Amino acid sequence: MTQRAWNFSAGPAMLPGAVIERIQEELPDTNGSGMSAMEMSHRGADFRHIAEAAEADLRELMAIPDDYRVLFLQGGATALFSVLPLNLANGSGRADYVRTGHWSSKAIAEGRRFCQLHIAGDSEENEYTRVPDDYDFDPGADYVHVTPNETIHGLRFPDLPDTGAVPVVADLSSAILSEPINVRDYGLIYAGAQKNIGPAGLCIVIVREDLLTGAREGTPALMDLKAQAGAGSMLNTPPTFAWYVAGLVFQWLKAQGGVEAMAHRNRKKAELLYGAIDGSDFYRNPVVPACRSLMNVPFFLADSALEDRFKSEARDLGLLTLGGHRAVGGLRASIYNAMPLEGVQALVDFMADFERRYG
Ligand SMILES: Cc1ncc(COP(=O)(O)O)c(C=O)c1O
């Protein structure tokens, strides 16, 4: 295979090289079908086998209990920002949201259109450098929404807040499968695929069955989670190729030793990178250490005028997509499951060299 770059993009993000090679190899004839997965009828036996195997592997990787349904939907994580209140805020009509950065703010802006939304915890005043110190949960809320890993601010919840009997709904787009979680701690988990799962165009939803009581009247059919669950995520043609690639990523994860093994690797990668940042006055990460993301590491140069030079010299070495999100600027390295320690080491070596020359 041709030389692949170290791609630090936040998403769509790097996929494991072994998965890319496997796609390449079996594209013309997948599983003896004589066609690629993207050419298969979603209702035929060939694709059904792929779809079922992907779900079974995800269930095994995350130890998903039997009373949770797994859905493979379209519309990205953003579609869920409206799907959630339309489907879940149908008791009191009230929902609590925790604001910890860019993506939870997006979920809040959309959620407000469809339910009585209350911000029950807020990191805005500390500029999203740590998770909220306290919460003001409404025991009558239909759910509490959290974003356990904020992709842009690089903020991670060390522990979930205690919401009592109110189900936690979590946007795990940038953290799913990066470390073990107890699915039972959540009523619903959703994740856009394009970071730790596969290609964009797919959003995975893991939802406790008793929460599937039906969407409120007027909800578009495709946004009705109960109807989607009843139709095996096939109310219409699902994103078949993305589903197939997700299945290959799940197989790869199992071969790597599962989520536990990934967490061990991810901690080593994060320690290496944060160590390089903290060990110098030239680089800075503003997030308090206990709340730092293992997946997305934003950092700033003491002299921001050097940023463009940093990115361009990095690019020349095959270290790609290191610009921070336009909402916060600076730099950011996303180091999802597919990024090996070797890639992070190459970045850290470059950072040390850059500092030597310009520090
Ligand atoms: C935490 C989080 N939530 C939601 C989204 C939006 O995802 P999508 O573009 O799939 O709608 C992103 C995208 O980067 C994200 O990181």
Predicted pLDDT of residue 3: 79
CA–CA distance from 40 to each of 55, 238, 239 (Å)? 18, 11, 11
Q: Which of 255, 286, 309 is the last residue of a domain?
A: 255
Q: With 70 as the cut, is the pLDDT of residue 337 above it? A: yes
Answer yes or no: are the C-beta atoms of 287 and 153 closer than 8 Å.
yes
- Look up the CATH number of the domain holding residue 113: 3.40.640.10
Statement to judge: residues 165 and 213 lie in one domain? yes
Query: Is the residue at 1 inside a domain?
Result: no
Ligand 1 centroid, distance to 203 Cα (angstroms):
10
Dist CA 356 CA 198 (whole Å): 37
Statement to judge: residues 191 and 222 lie in one domain? yes
Q: Which of 255, 280, 315 is the last residue of a domain?
A: 255
Q: Which of 255, 281, 299 is the last residue of a domain?
A: 255
Task: Please give the tally of structural domains in the chain.
Answer: 2
Statement to judge: residues 239 and 317 lie in one domain? no
Query: Is the residue at 339 inside a domain?
Result: yes
For 170-189, the pLDDT digits (tens) are 999 999 999 999 999 999 99
Which residue's CA is the closest to the ligand 1 atom numbered 4? 77
Q: Which domain holds residue 239?
A: 18-255
Statement to judge: residues 285 and 204 lie in one domain? no
Q: With 60 as the cut, is the pLDDT of residue 1 above it? A: no
Query: Is the residue at 12 inside a domain?
Result: no
Statement to judge: residues 173 and 118 lie in one domain? yes
> Among candidates 101, 38, 103, 115, which has minimal Cα distance to 76?
103
Q: In sequence order, what DSSP letters do the residues of 164-188 get, joined into one string? A: TTSPEEEE-TTTTTSS---GGG-SE
For 6-17, the pLDDT digits (tens) are 999 999 999 999
Statement to judge: residues 179 and 317 lie in one domain? no
Predicted pLDDT of residue 164: 96
Q: With 60 as the cut, is the pLDDT of residue 193 above it? A: yes
Q: What is the mean pLDDT of residues 221-228?
A: 98
Ligand 1 centroid, distance to 76 Cα (angstroms):
7
- Ligand 1, from 98, 108, 174: best to mutate by most atoms within 8 Å of Cβ? 174
Which residue's CA is the closest to the ligand 1 atom numbered 16? 151
Instruction: Give ligand 1 pocket residues (Cβ under 6 A).
Output: 10-11, 76-78, 103, 147, 151, 171, 173-174, 192
The overall average pLDDT reported for the chain is: 97
Ligand 1 centroid, distance to 289 Cα (angstroms):
24
Statement to judge: residues 159 and 92 lie in one domain? yes
Statement to judge: residues 140 and 289 lie in one domain? no
For 85-126, the pLDDT digits (tens) are 999 999 999 999 999 999 999 999 999 999 999 999 999 999
Which residue's CA is the closest to the ligand 1 atom numbered 10? 76
Query: Is the residue at 13 inside a domain?
Result: no
Active site residues per annotation = 103, 171, 195
Query: Is the residue at 163 inside a domain?
Result: yes
The overall pTM is greater than 0.85: yes
- Look up the CATH number of the domain holding residue 286: 3.90.1150.10
